[in-house]
Amino acid sequence: MEFLGKTNIDFIGMRKITFVISGIIALIGIIGVIQIGRGAANMGIDFSGGTSMQLKFAQPLTTQAAREALAKGGVKEVELQEIKEGNQ
């Protein structure tokens, strides 16, 4: 059973185009690896490691007050994000 029937694709004639496309893809990959190594890539916690916590307080709390409380608890390097109501 033939799905495509007779095909006549000139693979040798398209080799220069495929070499260029392959080179571009490889170059993008190399640049990506270099960016990750430099720390310039914006990696999420899934890839960079660390702990993510979401806390909800009855009373509003400023990020500065939360940062000071965490520093007293021994947590020095912290990235805080204030989330208003819901996902806004």
Hey, what are 5's tokens?
């029937």
Predicted TM-score (pTM) of the model is 0.50
pLDDT of residue 87: 56
pLDDT in tens, 4-18: 788 888 889 999 999
Q: Which of 57, 52, 62, 59 is nearest to 82 (CA)?
A: 62
Domain boundaries, the chain: 12-73
- If one compares 64 and 27, the residue with the highest pLDDT of the two is 27
- Contact assessment for residue 70 and residue 78, using Cβ atoms and an 8 Å cutoff: yes
- If one compares 24 and 65, the residue with the highest pLDDT of the two is 24
